[in-house]
Chain A
Amino acid sequence: MERDLEQLNCALNSVKTLRSNVRRVFESVSNGLRADHGDEGKENKFILELQELLTTVNNNLRDVENSVSNLTPPPGAFSLGNTAYLSQETTQERQALYGQLVNSYKWTDKIREYSALAGNILATNSFNKTYKTFSTTKRRKTQSSNHNVSPEVIENLITSIDRLFPDVTITTNRPFVPNPVIQASLGRVLKAIIAFKGLMIEWVVVKAHAESNDLWTESRYKVFRKVTENCHAAMCHFHSPMMPELAVRSFMHWFHSYNTLFSAPCKRCGNHLHANLPPTWRDLRTLEPYHEECK
């Protein structure tokens, strides 16, 4: 009995692995060529990756077949105890057990699975980094660090920026957290994904509206990759640990000048294009547009 259970578990696990790896194949196929395949020989890299995934799936499938062949089919009917009588009674008004049973079964199953996962993850990350002591007597009223401010303060700052420019729309998926990541849409021109660390800007990525809101992949378009680079430069330029709110405001003011990214010609050469790019630099004081080579 014990051995049977173990084998059943093993079979279920191999099915799970198979499913997850099959999912990876489809994920990879649906994503197609990605930025991390680089430029050279990207098709080959993609095909190799796919082959590798398919080999894994093949191996998993073999595992499933092996573990299934090890199972012994149950000799007779299972004894389900009193629950067996549930199937005799389908009228719901008389006892509403059925739905509850189905749900609680699912629930327990999930709790088990999630707690095991959470246990693993929490074991590897210790959470001893908090400064706060939780004694009520020593609670400090104000915090001097700009890294560690209350979420409401940051929320207020973001709301005030949102009000400052009519064509900048700010959306945030997780408001009221100490380090929010916001998406700032600049008209129909571009969007920036901005990560805050306390009251300071930590990271900026500029992308096309149709691209993902992911902080870690760069835009597929050269022009937005250039603007991202320049945003990093400006982010450092405006950085001011003593006046973080002013720094963010100045940065946003400068960022807002990109609403003419495609329409404004270069202040120096008068052309729209240089090396097939529009003027991607904005002067830090005058906000005038320049090609990178013309500034």
Chain B
Amino acid sequence: MLGFQNQKNVCKIICMMGVTILTQFPTGNRTGPETVEVLSKRILALGAAQQGQFLVDCDTYTSIPQLGPQRTVHVLHNSEQPATVFSLLESGNKTIPLAADGLFDLLMMKMSSFYTPKKQTKAESKGLRYEIGDFCVKLGTVTVSSNFKGILVEVEYRPCVVPAMCWDLLKEFLQGLLGQSAPGNLPAYLQNRVQEIYSPIDTIHQYLEHFTLFRKSPGGMGLRTQ
């Protein structure tokens, strides 16, 4: 029995992950599945082992007009942190991140009369997960409301937590994997945070940036993957 109401012993939000780079891989004149096939063959040839699957999804809600200037709430889940719900609130030129327990989704339902889901914007990146040495590579097929939009490659170097320390090393790895399509610079979001300890919300930021671009892009190749 509880004598005192005390909620200090709640689970901690774990902030432990290696620096991660998310980049788009152009499909060229291939279809989505063909592109994934090419990349998957390449990474297996480098000695990777396939280790399960992953899913990152994003729902977007906007405030009702009665609440004043419009604000947008993005709610994201990452199968890598299954007990956490990430949320990014865009208000004016500010973006406020939040990491919370899984019950945050329940709260969003309670808020449904204040913040309504944006139609046709459910975005997800889904695919296979590979491990190679201390690197973890994820090849994701991106869909926006079930329409194929493109390919996202996520590379995590798990032992290192400061972007500035391992960017060159990651760049070399990405070049080995993606060739010409490897990014030459750190993702814009990380450039202001190179000396900070990397945390799961940073990956979420990168996914949101790409999802936002994909949502604006016209229909991808118009292929339905499901």
Contacts and interface: CB of A to CB of B under 8 A. Distances in A.
Interface of A: 188-190, 208-210, 221-224, 262-263, 265, 271-273, 275-278
Contacts of A190: 159
A123 B157 CA distance: 50
B176 interface: yes
A275 B48 CA distance: 11
B49 to A, nearest CB: 10
B101 interface: no
A275 B78 CA distance: 29
Contacts of A221: 134, 158-159
B161 A272 contact: no
Given A221-B134, A222-B133, A275-B133, A209 B169 contact: no
Contact of B169 (A188, A210, A275, A278): A278
Interface in B148-168: 157-162, 164-166, 168
Interface residues of B, number: 21
B182 interface: no
B159 A263 contact: no
Interface string B35-56: 0000000000001000000000
Contacts of A223: 133-134, 159
Contacts of A278: 169
B133 A262 contact: no
Contacts of A209: 161
Given A221-B134, A222-B134, A223-B134, A263 B165 contact: yes
B56 to A, nearest CB: 22
A276 B133 contact: yes
Given A263-B168, A276-B132, 19 more contacts: A189-B160, A189-B165, A221-B134, A221-B159, A222-B134, A223-B133, A223-B159, A262-B165, A263-B165, A263-B169, A272-B168, A272-B169, A272-B172, A273-B169, A273-B172, A276-B47, A276-B133, A277-B134, A278-B169
B197 interface: yes
Contacts of A265: 168
Given A273-B173, A276-B173, A188 B132 contact: no
B221 interface: no
Interface string B128-145: 000011110000000000
B16 interface: yes
Contacts of B172: 271-273
Nearest to B158: A221
A208 B134 CA distance: 12
Given A189-B165, A263-B168, A265-B168, A276 B135 contact: yes
B217 to A, nearest CB: 33
A244 B176 CA distance: 45
Contact of B162 (A188, A210, A271, A272): A188
Contacts of A275: 133
A188 B165 contact: yes
B134 A276 contact: yes
A135 B122 CA distance: 81
Given A221-B159, A276-B134, A263 B166 contact: yes
Contacts of A271: 172
A126 to B, nearest CB: 42
Contacts of A272: 168-169, 172
Interface string B167-193: 011001100100000000000000000
A189 B159 CA distance: 8
A209 B160 CA distance: 9
Contact of A208 (B159, B164, B168, B169): B159
Which among B47, B165, B166 has the highest number of chain A CB atoms within 10 Å? B165
